Each structure stands twice: as C-alpha cells, then as structure tokens.
Amino acid sequence: MFATALRCRACHHTIPISLQYHCSICNGILEVIYDYESLGKSEVFHSALRGTSPYSGMWRYYPMLPLKDPTNIVSLGEGNTPLLPAPRLGRLLGVPQLFLKNEGANPTASFKDRPSSTGISIAKEFGVKQVIIASSGNAGAATAAYAARAGLPCFVVVPEGTPFSKVAQALSSGARVIFTKGSYSNSYQLAHAAAVSFGWANLSSTFLNPFTVEGDKTIAYEIWEQLRHRVPDWIIIPIGAGPLLVGTLKGYEELKRFGLIKRLPAMVGVQSEAVHPIADAFAANKTIVEEWHGNTKTVASGIADPLIGYPQDGTLTLMAIRSSGGQCLVAPDVATLEMGRKLAQTEGLFIEPTAATGIYGVLSLRKQGYIDSHDLVVVLLTAHGLKMPEAYEDVSFKPPVVNTLEELQVMLSCKHI
Amino acid sequence: MFATALRCRACHHTIPISLQYHCSICNGILEVIYDYESLGKSEVFHSALRGTSPYSGMWRYYPMLPLKDPTNIVSLGEGNTPLLPAPRLGRLLGVPQLFLKNEGANPTASFKDRPSSTGISIAKEFGVKQVIIASSGNAGAATAAYAARAGLPCFVVVPEGTPFSKVAQALSSGARVIFTKGSYSNSYQLAHAAAVSFGWANLSSTFLNPFTVEGDKTIAYEIWEQLRHRVPDWIIIPIGAGPLLVGTLKGYEELKRFGLIKRLPAMVGVQSEAVHPIADAFAANKTIVEEWHGNTKTVASGIADPLIGYPQDGTLTLMAIRSSGGQCLVAPDVATLEMGRKLAQTEGLFIEPTAATGIYGVLSLRKQGYIDSHDLVVVLLTAHGLKMPEAYEDVSFKPPVVNTLEELQVMLSCKHI
C-alpha cells in the first residue's frame, strides 16, 4: 500500500492510517496522503495504467487507493462506467464536444458505489463489525448494498417520516432503518456519535470518513483513459457538500503529479435553487461557506445539503473549485427537469433530476460565455433516472387509443397538419 | 460483415439480409446466418477476442454481429456487465460456485439494451425512418432510449390503461405512447401490421425481428471471457418467449464451432407461476408449445408472455433448452420475492422480481438434484430492482425512533435478548 498517513487539511497534523473522522488537534478534515514517488515507480501502478490490473471496474486503480490487502476489496462491479459522446445534446447546447460520464450504470445506480465500495472495503480491513450512515438517498442505498456484500450489519439513520420508497433499496439489502426526530442534522449527529463511541464505520456522505472520497478519485483516472489522455476543459458536477468534486479533482492532481497530464480541468459545481451555500460564497467572493438555514425542498434532492454541522466541508469544496479555475452556479428546478428531458430525448439517457443540474450547468456557462464552443466538456451524470422517475411525471399523460392500421394512418396524417 | 443471409429456422428458405419478420414461404422464424469460416480466420474476430477491438461494451464483438458498417452502431455503453461471484448466496443455496451476470448495470437497467442496441443500429443501417414496439416493460424502455439516441421517432404500443409508471422511461425518451383496447396481443398485432405496411423497424421482443436476438448473443462471449474460458455447467435464465435464452445459447454454439470451448452449458428457462406455456410443454415432453389463455398476473411481469399469436417462439425456445440438456421450471411468486430479498441481503444486489425467478431456479434444481454442489452455475440477472421497487414493499414498515446514543444502546442490547 502506498497510502502512508492521514493528514489534517487545516493544521497538517499527521496520524497513522486509521478510522478517524476529524483532526484530534483542530477538528479539521482529514485526508489520505500517499508516497507518490514510490507509487509512481511501482509495477502495480503502471500495470493499472496499462489496463492489466488483476482487478476490474474501479478497483483496477487499487494501487492508488488506501487499501492494504486487496483480498479486502468489497466489490459489486462498480466503476468502469461509460463515457458517452453526446453530439445531439451538445449541438443543442452549443458545445459539440460534450461527453457524459454515466454513473447511473453502477450497481446501485449512482456514483455513490465508488465511495461506498472504498469505505466498506476499508471497514473490512480494519475489522469493523458494524456500519452506519445517515442518508435517505443514494449513499444510503449504496452503503447498505456493500455492507450486505461484506456481511456487515448496517444501520441507516433517516428523519422520522421518511417514506418506504426512499429507503426501499437499503431495506432490501437488509439494512436496519432508524428514524430520528427533526431534520437530517439529527440523523447525522446520531450516526457520528454512534460511530465514534462504538468504533463503527460511518459512511455518511460528507468529508467525515477520509477514505470514501478516495473512491471518487477513480472517476478521474477513468475519464483520462476514456478520453485517451486528453484533459477536459470543464468537468461539471452536481454538488451538495462536494466530495465527488474534490475527489475527482484529486485524481486529476495525481495524474498531473505523475506527469501524465499537463494541466487540470476547471471544476464546476452546480447546486440546487433551494440550497446553495457554496454557490453563494463563490458568487460573493467569500473564503468561508456558511450553514444554510431555510427550506431545502427541490427536485434535486441529492444535493440539497444545508451543511448544518459541517460547513467546513463546503469551504473545502469552494477552495477546490477556485484552485482549478472553475465555477459554481445554481440550477432552477424547472430548468433542471427541462434539461433532464432534453437529454433523454436527444441521447436516450434517463437521469435523476439531481444529475440533470449538471446539464443545466453546461447550458448556463455556455450562455454566459465561460464555456467556449470549442471546449471539451464532461458532465458527471451522478445517478439513474429510475431513482426518481416520478419527478418527470406528466400529469396530462393521456395517450391516444388506436386500434387499427387505418386509425394509425389517420393519426399520422393529422400529425403533419 | 460476416452475416450472409437470413434463413428460415423451419424450412431453411434463405433470403438476403433485410428487414423481414417471417419466412415468406412457410411463415417460420428467420435467423441470421454467418460465414463462420471467414469470420474465424479474420483479424477483426481475433482482435475482438483479444480485447483490442476499437469498440467498447458489447460492440467489442461487432464482427460477430450482423452490422455492415460500424459507423451505424447506436450505443449507450451497453454490455460489459459485471459477472460477480456470489459466495454467500451460493453457500445458502448449496452451490458455492455461483456467478451472477448483472444485466441491471446496462444503460436502461435491463438486458434489453443488447437487443435494442442491435435492432436500432440495424434500423439505422437500413435507413428506416420510424421504430415501433409493443411493450410496456423493459424492452419498450430500451427501444425508446436507443431510438432517441439515433434520432429516430419511436412508437410504443401498450394496452389501454397502462399506468404512467410503466412507460415513464419510454416517455422520457420522447417516444409516443399509443393505447390499444384489449390485451397485449392487440398491441402486438398493431405494431406488426404497422411495421410491415409502413416499412418501420419492429423491435417487439419476440423472435419477430431476426436481428435483436443477435445482440443477446454477446452475453455468451462476455461470460466466456469473464470465466476465463471455463464453461458453466448451467446458465439459468428467466424466460417469456425466450430470445435471451436462444441468443445466449447461440453465442455458446458459436464459441464451440470456433473451437474455443468443448461443450455447451445446459440452458435453464424459468417461467412464472402465472404463465408457463414452455415449462408445461417441457414437463409433458411435448414438441410444440401452445398459446397460454388465462390470468397472467404475477410479480414476474417481465416474463408473463402468453405467446398469443406466436406460440412457435415458445417451441423454438423449448427446442433450444432440450438441445442443450437443460431444464425448464416454474417459479412461484412468493418464493421469487423471497429469493430477491435473499440475494439483496447476502450479496447487495437489488433485482427486479422477474430476475429473481432465476435465483429460485437455482434453489429448485439444486433441491431436485439436477444441479450438483460442485457445478459452476451462472444466473442472468435480467433487470435492476429499481424497475419495480414497490414489489418488495413491506407494509409493516415502521422503523424505531431513536434520538440519542443512549436510546440506541438500549435498542442494541434488546436485540440480543
């Protein structure tokens, strides 16, 4: 293993690789650091880049991940998702070189399988006996699935009243669902307290668990391969707290450090119109992101994260966006659904509204002139449309009744009137 | 291209490659035939087997498919789905060497992306201007998506009263949904009549369209690669009319013809307790499958095909099963859901009830002694659980409310009483 330590992103205090959630000195966010020099010279590293790794999916890149023993890999075949050119949608948006990374093709149908596979593999390596996560969304579904695959019991903590449909995937994997009164913050606090007190693995999808974000990193390596080493000018990512954006950028930073690319892509974070603490700080040129208090209702529920209790996660993401020369913007719900439909109609990909905010991001940045018509743009489609098909429901759904060929012919001719 | 003709499976009448749906002499089922000698000697064939094809996903095997010009490929990144060892479920079922081919990882979340990608690519190559399909299920969703990707208008014909949720994916891709009065048979007849009269491509998921089943074939090549050339003793497949089973077997027959394997796997078809015309004919040792009249309500709706209007499709599948030394059985709904839950709980994979009939198939054949504990068994998990999560709904869903660490501790200690 080439991971050498956990280091605080704030005060740089360094501790051995272990299941810690915060810097013990300053309470800062921990990050996995590596011996990049040895990694870059290693045979396993070059084997991974050549595509001759003994592992498949995202675990092809296992030398770049913080797992000591590959027999601890807990995999459902995540990663290796298609990167699709989207010429028809691209023309519509004025960006002919548009590529879509379809993370909905992961086993639980969202990108969360990457951090969950990493986090559960690490939990197994540490001999952890129980997993917990606060999430009624894609992270909960993914964590429950990987915990089941590993044979680890899993608690999923969600606000009281969360409907069955939001936890159907997690429940099916045998996870025990617990309600907490009040908002998501209470679920989050309980999960964290239990993990710290009982030595459980906490996979709540923020920067708490320092290992999960490493799984997100593999997206960068895959895109690098799929674009045959070309670097996108822009990578557009829907963000709540933002580990996916920070992880993807870390992958590109590693590629640059290894001399495999010469520059970084500009990272774009897209937030929802209901909850946008990072976009606000970005627009106001602030250096700190603040908690978001107020309504969080939006079709892009996967990124409706008010950061209550962990605003520093937003600050970290804000810094990552700025350091890459990127942008951060807000997607209105109506335009988001419109973009989800346009994508399906032009390219056949059906995505969750949260993911569709990324398509809106392309439209908006192109209109504002940030994205040029010659730019190479990649959007991370974070989850499948089947996660939330009702979001696209057309209340006026009333197909014509056509019983014979003659009736069909009449209908067709009418169409042209 | 190495496909040379369409040949009638009944009377062997041979016609040039074209968009035909039946033998013009005897109305039999048409099949694509190939010049296997030239194919086997070709560089593109060996390149595909070496994994150095210029195309990705299932189109790596494009020399084995009936497309003339690869620029006509209409792809969403289908195929190349994970084959997962399932040791925990395998131990439970008494089959330690159990492997699961996760077709839910395809772009529209079912195996239907393989035949649809093939059928739409062929439609594009033939210059067809319109696509039609009778299906309110996974085939309709897949065909609409690939038609959108190709820029081809698509009609989806379904029985009147089909709810929005069953056609949400197809509608999102911009397909026009048409209702027909009466049963699915009427939808099927209208789609066929329109295709023949107007020169449209009909992708209804039977053996009508001779090209779609060729897409299913790629599953065999992938499993062959993933098992490093070992041949499964059994391949278990949920079947309605059965093109997936026939297509998979054809792939294995080709592998044998090329000398890449020495024997064929035994093919097992699993039908639902509501509709099982093929299983009945198999059990009664008949040579002909008959139409199924009666109730078709089952949780395994994806295989509830009564074959009305095309019982010969069932006969073809029956013959394929017999020729491979396989089995055909019926899965009860309650046991099917139980198996779907067991799979999710032991391995983390969430699948549609239709797919779970395959897991039941393993259980049943192991109990009956057909499958031996040393056998290598592959189950095709035909679609993702998100296609129909409500099937697993637990009406007694009532999670405990736990607000503090102390309450959680009490709950945990109670658990052990």
Residue linked to tokens 């989207």: A86
Q: What distance in Å separates residue B112's CA from the closest CA in chain A?
A: 14
d(C-alpha A383, C-alpha A106), whole Å: 9
Return the residue of B nearest to A101 by Cα.
B77
| Euclidean distance between the first and the last CA atom of chain B, given in angstroms as a whole number | 68
ipTM of the complex as predicted? 0.94
CB contact under 8 A, B408 and A82: no
Q: What distance in Å separates residue A166's CA from the closest CA in chain B?
A: 10
User: Is residue B302 scored above 80 in pLDDT?
Assistant: yes
Which member of A147, A174, A180 has the closest CB to residue B403?
A: A180
Which of B403, B407, B411 is the best mutation test for A, with the most CBs of A within 10 A?
B403
What is the pLDDT, as a whole number, of residue B131?
97
Q: Which residues of B touch A390 (CB under 8 A)?
A: 165, 168
Which member of A75, A84, A385 has the closest CB to residue B172?
A: A385
Helix (H/G/I), strand (E/B), else coil: A1: coil
d(C-alpha B143, C-alpha B134), whole Å: 10
CB contact under 8 A, A190 and B387: no
User: Is residue B417 scored above 50 in pLDDT?
Assistant: no
Strands A3-8 and A14-15, sheet pairing? antiparallel
Closest CA to B215 of B3, B38, B36, B61: B61
d(C-alpha B134, C-alpha B190), whole Å: 8
Task: Give pLDDT tens digits for B84-101.
Answer: 999 999 999 999 999 999
What is the pLDDT, as a whole number, of residue A395?
67
Residues of chain A falling short of pLDDT 70: 395, 415-417
CB contact under 8 A, A389 and B169: yes
d(C-alpha A365, C-alpha A327), whole Å: 9
Which member of B148, B176, B180 has the closest CB to residue A348?
A: B148
CB contact under 8 A, A107 and B160: no
Q: Which residues of B touch A190 (CB under 8 A)?
A: 402-405, 408
Which member of B146, B174, B350 has the closest CB to residue A172?
A: B350
What is the pLDDT, as a whole number, of residue A415?
57
d(C-alpha A77, C-alpha B382), whole Å: 16
What is the pLDDT, as a whole number, of residue B395?
67
CB contact under 8 A, A144 and B348: yes
Q: Which residues of B touch A88 (CB under 8 A)?
A: 149, 151
CB contact under 8 A, B389 and A347: no
What is the pLDDT, as a whole number, of residue A136?
81
Task: Give pLDDT tens digits for B86-144.
Answer: 999 999 999 999 999 999 999 999 999 999 999 999 999 999 999 999 998 999 999 99
d(C-alpha A236, C-alpha A399), whole Å: 36
Q: What's the mean pLDDT in B397-410?
A: 90
Which member of B77, B344, B384 has the closest CB to residue A109?
A: B384
d(C-alpha A331, C-alpha A354), whole Å: 10
Helix (H/G/I), strand (E/B), else coil: A411: helix
Q: How many residues does chain A have?
A: 417
What dihedral angle (degrees, nearest 10) is formed by the CA atoms of A250, A251, A257, A260?
Answer: -160
Q: Which residues of A touch B164 (CB under 8 A)?
A: 393-394, 397
Helix (H/G/I), strand (E/B), else coil: A417: coil
Compute φ and ψ for B46, nearest 5 degrees.
Answer: -70, -35
Q: What's the mean pLDDT in B406-414?
A: 88
Task: Give pLDDT tens digits for A202-240.
Answer: 999 899 999 999 999 999 999 999 999 999 999 999 999
| Euclidean distance between the first and the last CA atom of chain A, given in angstroms as a whole number | 68
- Tell me if the pTM is above 0.80: yes
Task: Give pLDDT tens digits for B10-48.
Answer: 999 999 999 999 999 999 999 999 999 999 999 999 999
d(C-alpha A307, C-alpha A314), whole Å: 7
Strands A176-180 and B30-34, sheet pairing? unpaired
User: Is residue B412 scored above 90 in pLDDT?
Assistant: no
The more confident residue out of B163 and B381 is B381
d(C-alpha A11, C-alpha A30), whole Å: 10
What is the pLDDT, as a whole number, of residue B415?
58
d(C-alpha B223, C-alpha B233), whole Å: 12
Which member of B144, B165, B349 has the closest CB to residue A107?
A: B349
What is the pLDDT, as a whole number, of residue A183?
82
10 Å Cβ neighbour count for A284? 7
Q: What distance in Å separates residue B326's CA from the closest CA in chain A?
A: 29
